[in-house]
Amino acid sequence: MPPTAADLDLLQGTLDVMVLKSLSWGPMHGFGIAKWIRQTTDEILQIDDGALYPALHRMEHRGLIGADWGLTENNRRAKYYTLTPKGRQQLRARAASWDLYSRAVSKVIHATAQPA
Amino acid sequence: MANQSAKWHRYLRFWRPNVAADVDAEVAFHIDARADELCAAGLDRGAARARAEREFGDVDRTRATLRDMDERHAALDRRANALGDLGRDVKVAVRALRRSPGLVAVVVLTFALGIGITSAIYSVVDAFMFRPLPGAYGRELVVLGRTDRELAIPHPLSYPDYADIRADTAVFASLTAYTSRLVDLNTDRGADRIWIDDATANYFSTLGLAPMLGRTFSPGDDDGELAHPEMVLTYVAWQRRFAGDSGVIGRVIRINDHPVTVIGVMPPSFHGVRAVTELDGVVPINQVGPVVTAALSNRRNILVNVFGRLRDGVSMSAAARALHLKAAQLARAYPLTNANVDEMVVREHFARPDVSISGSTPVVAAIFMSLVLLVLLVACANVASVLLARVVVRRRELAIRTALGASQWRIVRQALVECSLLSLGGGLAALPVTFAAVRAMQSIRIATDLPIRWGMELDGRVLAFLALATLVAAVVASIAPAAAARHRDLNSLLKASAGNSASGGHTRLRSTLVIAQVAVSVVVLVCAGLLVRSARNALHMDFGFRPDHVAMAATEWRAPAYDSVRATRMYHDILAKAASIPGARSVALTGFLPFGFSRDNVPVFPIASSAHVPVNGFNYFYDAVGGDYFATMDVPLLAGRTFVPGDSAGATQVAIVNDALAKALWPGESAVGKQFHTRSAGGPVLEVVGVVRGMQDLVPGETPHPYIFRPLGQLVPEEMTLLVYTNTDAAAALPGLRRAITSVDAQLPVFDTRTIEQHLRDGQALIFPRLGSEFASIFGVLALLLATVGMYGVIAYSVAQRTREIGVRVALGARMPVILRLVVGQGMRLAWIGVAIGLALAVLVAGALRAILFGVPPRDPLVLTTVVVLVTIVAIVASAVPARRALRIDPIRALRDE
């Protein structure tokens, strides 16, 4: 089931984590990040590619990621993003809390005990 | 095309990031890359592109969002960078300035004086010219004046004229009439004299001002007479007279012995609608006695000041035309009273402190402000001169920094930052200077019981002006040093430093400036010296009456508590009580004091006089005196007798005249026994029983005017001043005078208690010479300080420029005295040229001052010598500092450096 508007807030935070994660292997341009997310999530999250960019720019202004113009293998100019130390820290923190959170929600959803 | 412009934008990135192009490129790349990918997967070009765009979402909106985000961020970024650079510049400047504390002191002091005095004078101009009255409509107010075709000066209106204009003229949204008076506020302790406005009920609604406590007047509160005895207090009166008690609302107080209800208290910003006085309260007109019903219907009685505001969209000229029309209408309707009358309107702030001088206020303020700006400009020129010397001294450092790659902008900016820091310091140091100057001006006292309020305040408006003056000073003073620091080829500056070529013009200009400054300070100092000596002398000159050991206190009676019979008895009781004050030699009462602020005159028609009598008679000043007036004032009797107790109300009407009057009416004859009519050719007849020597009355040093004295009883003034000649300290007798009055009637007000010395010093006699000498002294010292800094700047600059020359001289064996003479001689040359010009001008100016110089010739040798010596010493001091630097020049280094 595609996500509804109510889920967007949740997605916003999630998107940041995914971007940070995608950059943990090295510099990548926006298109590459979008592609990675699409493939990694098996295309379950159908986010407009356009929605990715405001997130990228916001994180750049916050110093979580850096940006520089570079050339692709096809010799095209593209804006490459890299993870800053601050971003790496943020990724670790978010990943940890995400694990906690998802485990908690998962426990609730699969709970067998009836409320007392 | 698009591609090319994209490339072009890339070069722009060196200048500053191009947000729009970057966003477009990033988005374009994404869509292209996705389309390529889809193509590779088998879609045809068009379909691939369409799908890529669909997957992207709203392309245009995303672009707009991103641009917006990036632009905002870039702006923040730039600001942070600029701040960082500024911080670095400030640090460098502070470090540099720390190394020259002398320079910092001189510059900050110059700025502080220049900016401080400028701001203090602005506070005066602001109070008189610019500051709007409080209230929502404070800025829109206009003032009406009545002009007589025969008397050009505008004056107040008659109440009926005001009422007609208010009723029939459509141009005014609101029009208020008021008249001010001193009344008694009766208290348990006696009576305080307070200053109130009697006003139409719309007084506060015209201003648009709400009360802080209680209410203001309601429409109709000014109807009838004594029907609505109510009062709105000012904040100052509420604090001072009622200790800020909020229970005062609704309380019944007594004004002139009439019950009056306090209905409201105004906020602290309200001091009345007239500059210069401190109001205590406002009452509706004709509601607090004495009744003025007759005056309110008399078109001859110019009683009320009128202010108001225009209807929306009505111009001043339209209002003036409407008033003109109305005045013509009134002149036709009431030819007896209004034939020559016209009405005029001016903006309220041009009519301060009174509508009668509405023409001259802007001119006076403009002159004052230009003088003040001149002072500021001279201060800036001096600072520029000092800083310029510094740039020349530091040219090697600047050259090295340029060689090391510092940009010119960087060096100029450094100079600007240094100057800004110095002027900021000057602006801060100007605060206490301004504060002290405003305080000093506020504390100027003049001898009157009118509650004077010099409107200057050290408020936000003055502080804003101070900040502006600081900014202007910073900019003006930094232009020259910054321009010098920017000098493109510093090598040429180095070559020019031998002191010829291009900089010669600068030096001449600056020398001229210094000469002018010295000349101006000589003129001001000479004037100050003359005025100070004159003010000293004036206290000891012969005014024709006793100038010391006289204590004085005034009182006043009013109906219905008194009539002239009861008042006569009361005055005689006071004289009897005063005679028993310890140390009292003689006591007297007088209606008008010489050099007082009030006097009155009466038409005189002499009988059996050889003088040519004008149709309306002679107008002579008169006074009523009681007790031993002439003995107390030490005025010699020249002929006849003085007044005796028998000269009472029912007896023959008598007068004593002064020698000036006797000589004017009966030249060559004895005036004793002569008679004259007063008021009109058929009016009451007075017989002259004595002749006394004349006293000076209006201007110190004048030839006395003709004067008439009447015995108390035959004339009973409502206000009289008790005079006690003591053989002890007059000030110590003052409480005794107060007791003498209040022991006769505790409800009598006592005011204007002071010694005759105080009366002379703070009164009309000497207030102008005294204020003149005080202001001139302050400005003289200021001018001299500025001239000193100017001289220092020029000489320091010249020493810096002539380092090589001096080095050569030292190398060739010149001794210390030669070098000293070289440097100090230059300063003395400038100073003496300035002194010569200044003395010539001072003699001219002092000639104009002759009228207010007492016992001092305009070319007083003592003053002139003192000023010349003072300026010479200052010139030596100003040259000494650079001279010391010149003496320390090491010839080897000086030559090698070049």
- pLDDT tens digits along B438-458: 887 777 766 555 677 776 777
Which carries the bigger pLDDT value, residue B616 or residue B764? B616
Cβ-nearest to A77 among B25, B34, B56: B25
Residues in B touching A8 (Cβ below 8 Å): none
Asked if A54's CB is within 8 angstroms of B66's CB, the reply is: yes
pLDDT of residue B616 exceeding 80, the answer is no
Q: How many domains does the structure of chain B reveal?
A: 5
Domain CATH for A84: 1.10.10.10
Are A76 and B29 an interchain contact pair (Cβ–Cβ within 8 Å)?
Answer: yes
User: What mean pLDDT comes out for the span B707-724?
Assistant: 94
* Predicted confidence (pLDDT) at residue B12 exceeds the cutoff of 60: no
- pLDDT of residue B795 exceeding 70: yes
How close B57 comes to chain A (CA, Å)? 5
Are B488 and B515 within one domain?
no
More confident residue, B250 or B885: B250
Give buried/exposed letters for B685-696 (b at 16+ CB in 10 A, else e). Answer: ebebbbbbbbbb
Query: In chain B, pLDDT over 70 holds for what percent of residues?
Result: 90
Residue finishing a domain among B763, B791, B809? B763
**What is the pLDDT confidence band of residue B500, given thresholds at 50, 70 and 90?**
very low
Same domain, B562 and B706: yes
Quote the pLDDT of residue B839: 92
- Domain range enclosing B865: 498-543+765-898
What is the ipTM, given to two decimal places?
Answer: 0.86
| Amino acid at residue number B368 | F
Q: Tell me the per-residue pLDDT of B683-712, one tens digit each, with 9 for 90 and over.
A: 899 999 999 999 998 777 788 999 999 999
The pLDDT of B229-245, averaged and rounded, is 93
- What pLDDT score does B852 carry? 66
Task: Express each pLDDT in B630-673 by its tens digit.
Answer: 999 999 999 999 999 999 998 999 999 999 999 999 999 999 99
More confident residue, B141 or A111: B141
The helix, strand and coil proportions of chain B, stated in percent and rounded to the nearest 5, come to: 55, 15, 30
How far apart are alpha carbons B801 and B388 in whole angstroms?
A: 11
Closest CA to B593 of B805, B476, B727, B449: B449
- Find the angle CA(B178)-CA(B183)-CA(B184) to the nearest 5 degrees: 155
CA B306 centroid distance within chain: 25
How distant is the alpha carbon of residue B523 from its chain centre?
23
pLDDT above 70 (res B898): no
Count of helices and strands (H, E) across chain A: 4, 3
Of the candidates B635, B681, B634, B682, the one whose C-alpha atom is nearest the C-alpha of residue B656 is B635
Of the two residues B803 and B68, the one the predictor is more confident about is B68
Instruction: Note whether A50 contacts B57, CB cutoff 8 Å.
Output: yes
Substitution target from B23, B29, B30, B60 for chain A, most A beta carbons within 10 A: B30
Residue B803 lies in a domain: yes
pLDDT higher for B513 or B111? B111
How do strand B281-284 and strand B190-199 relate by DSSP bridges? Answer: parallel
Looking at the structure, tell me whether residues B759 and B773 fall in a common domain: no
- Residue B3 token pair: 């591609």
Look at B33 and A31 and tell me if their CB atoms are within 8 Å.
yes
| Nearest C-alpha in B relative to A49 | B56
- Side chain identity, residue B724: V
**A with B: how many residue pairs have Cβ under 8 Å apart?**
57
Are the beta carbons of B62 and A31 separated by less than 8 Å? Answer: no
Say if B145 falls within a structural domain: no
Distance between CA B79 and CA B472 in Å, rounded? 24
Write down the pLDDT at residue B525: 83
Contact B66 A53 (CB under 8 A): yes
What does pLDDT average to over chain B? 84
**Chain B residues whose beta carbon lies within 8 Å of the beta carbon of residue A48:** 55-58
Residue B56 and residue A54: Cβ atoms within 8 Å?
Answer: no
Task: Tell me which H or E stretch contains A81.
Answer: strand A77-83
Q: How many CB atoms lie within 10 A of CB B869?
A: 10
Q: What is the mean pLDDT of residues B194-209?
A: 94
Amino acid letter, residue B858: P
What is d(CA B382, CA B793) in angstroms, rounded to the nearest whole number? Answer: 7
Rounded to a whole number of angstroms, the distance from the CA of B410 to the nearest CA of chain A is 29
Task: Say which residue, B307 or B803, is predicted with more confidence.
Answer: B307
Q: Does A71 touch chain B (CB under 8 A)?
A: no
Q: Give me the mean pLDDT over the B475-503 stretch.
A: 59
Task: Tell me the average pLDDT across B1-6.
Answer: 42
> What are the backbone dihedrals phi and psi of residue B604, each rounded to the nearest 5 degrees, phi first?
-125, 130
Q: What is the pTM of this model?
A: 0.61
Query: In the β-sheet with A65-71, what is the strand arrangement from edge to edge?
Result: A28-29, A77-83, A65-71
Chain B nearest CA to A65, separation (Å): 14
- Is residue B758 domain-shared with residue B782, that is, in the same domain? no
Q: For residue B419, what pLDDT is reported?
A: 85
Cβ(B657)–Cβ(B706) below 8 Å: yes
B22, A79: Cβ pair inside 8 Å? Answer: yes
Asked which of B707, B740, B763 is the last residue of a domain, the reply is: B763
What lies within 8 Å, CB to CB, of B820 at 6+ separation is B883, B886, B887
CB atoms within 10 A of CB B478: 24
Nearest by CB to B57, which of A49, A57, A61? Answer: A49
Stretch among A31-40, B352-361, B602-611, B726-735 having the lowest mean pLDDT? B352-361
Are A50 and B33 inside 8 Å of each other by CB?
no
Q: Tens digits of per-residue pLDDT, A25-69?
A: 899 999 999 888 888 887 776 677 888 898 899 899 888 999 888
Range with lowest mean pLDDT among A10-19, B128-137, B301-310:
A10-19
Structure tokens at B843: 């003699």
Phi (first) and psi of residue B722, to 5 degrees: -85, 130
Q: Is residue B706 a part of any domain in this protein?
A: yes
Of B32, B55, B69, the CB nearest to A49: B55
Q: Residue A3 has what pLDDT?
A: 45
Pairing of strands B637-640, B600-606: unpaired
Structure-token match 């029939």, residue found:
B168
C-alpha distances in Å from residue A95, one per residue of A55, A104, B725: 18, 14, 101
- Chain B closest CA to A106's CA: distance in Å? 31
What are the backbone angles phi and psi of residue B329, rounded to the nearest 5°?
-60, -45
Nearest to B26 among A30, A51, A72 (CB): A30
Whether B25 sits inside 8 A of A79 (CB atoms) is yes
User: B30, A77: Cβ pair inside 8 Å?
Assistant: no
Q: Read off the pLDDT of residues B508-560 as tens digits, 9 standing for 90 and up.
A: 767 787 788 788 888 878 888 888 888 778 777 888 999 899 999 999 887 77
CA distance A64 to B32: 27
pLDDT band at residue B14 using 50, 70 and 90 as cut-offs:
very low
How many distinct structural domains can be found in chain A?
1
Instruction: Assess whether B491 and B504 both reside in one domain.
Output: no
Task: Let me know: does B430 contact B505? Beta carbons within 8 Å.
Answer: no
Search chain B and give the residue with CA nearest A55. B66
pLDDT of amino acid B739 = 93
Angstroms from A79 CA to nearest CA on chain B: 6
Whether B585 and B712 share a structural domain: yes
User: Minimal Cα–Cα distance from B26 to chain A, Å?
Assistant: 6
CA B247 to chain centre: 37
> Would you tell me how many other CB atoms lie within 10 Å of the CB of residue B351?
25
Q: What is the pLDDT of residue B238?
A: 94
Q: To the nearest whole percent, how much of chain B has pLDDT over 90?
A: 33
- A115 touches B: beta carbon within 8 Å: no
Flag if A49 and B56 touch (Cβ within 8 Å). Answer: yes
Record: contact A57-B66, CB cut-off 8 A: yes
**Residue from A49, A52, A56, A59 to probe the interface with B (highest B Cβ count within 10 Å):** A49
Identity of the residue in B25, B33, B69 whose CB atom sits nearest the CB atom of A58: B69
Within a domain: B447: no
Mean of pLDDT values over B255-264: 89
Q: What is the pLDDT of residue B80?
A: 79
Looking at the fold, whether B652 and B577 belong to one and the same domain comes out as yes
Chain B: give the shortest CA distance to residue A49, in Å: 4
Inter-chain contact B62–A78, Cβ cutoff 8 Å?
A: no
- Say yes or no to pLDDT of B216 above 90: yes
Give the mean model confidence (pLDDT) for residues B53-71.
Answer: 89
CB half-sphere exposure, A53, CA atoms < 13 A = 30
Are B218 and B273 within one domain?
A: yes
* Alpha helix stretches (DSSP H) within B607-750: 629-632, 659-665, 730-744
pLDDT at A6 over 50: no
DSSP string, B187-202: ETTEEEEEEEEEE-TT
Residues of A in contact with B26 (CB under 8 A): 30, 53, 78-79
Residue A115 lies in a domain: no
- Judged on CB neighbours under 10 Å (0-12, 13-18, 19+), B404 is exposed
| CA separation, residue B571 to residues B565, B627, B630, B632, B717 (Å) | 10, 9, 17, 16, 10
Q: What is the DSSP string of B714-743?
A: TB--SEEEEEEEESS-HHHHHHHHHHHHHH
Per the structure, the complete domain to which residue A101 belongs is given by 7-108
How many other CB atoms are there within 10 angstroms of residue B324's CB atom? 14
Q: Provide mean pLDDT across the span B194-208.
A: 94
Cβ atoms of B180 and B156 within 8 Å: the answer is no
Shared-domain flag, residues B727 and B584: yes
CA angle B279, B283, B288 (to 5 degrees): 120
Looking at B763, B782, B815, the residue that finishes a domain is B763
State whether B750 and B616 are in the same domain: yes
Contact B842, B523 (CB under 8 A): yes
Residues B239, B128 share a domain: no
Q: Is the peptide bond prior to B769 cis by the omega test (within 30 degrees of 0)?
A: no
Name the nearest CA neighbour of B530 among B842, B766, B869: B842
Q: Residues near B198 by Cβ (< 8 Å), separated by ≥ 6? A: B178, B179, B180, B181, B282, B283, B284, B285, B286, B287, B288, B292
Residue B733 has pLDDT above 80, yes or no: yes
Residues B301, B296: Cα–Cα separation, whole Å: 8
**How far is it, in rounded angstroms, from Cα B671 to Cα B804?**
87
pLDDT at A94: 84
Start-to-end C-alpha separation, chain A = 32
Higher pLDDT, B199 or B257: B199
Cβ within 8 Å, pair B59-A57: no
Mean pLDDT throughout B875-893? Answer: 79
Is the peptide bond preceding residue B290 cis, with omega within 30 degrees of 0? yes
Helices then strands, counting H and E runs in chain B, come out as: 27, 25
Together in a domain, B859 and B830: yes
B502 touches B496 (CB < 8 A): yes
Predicted confidence at residue A2, as pLDDT, reads 45
Confidence tier at B811 by pLDDT (50, 70, 90): confident
Contact B554, B720 (CB under 8 A): yes
Q: Are B786 and B521 in contact (CB under 8 A)?
A: yes
| pLDDT at B497 exceeding the cut of 70 | no
Residue B471 has pLDDT above 80, yes or no: yes
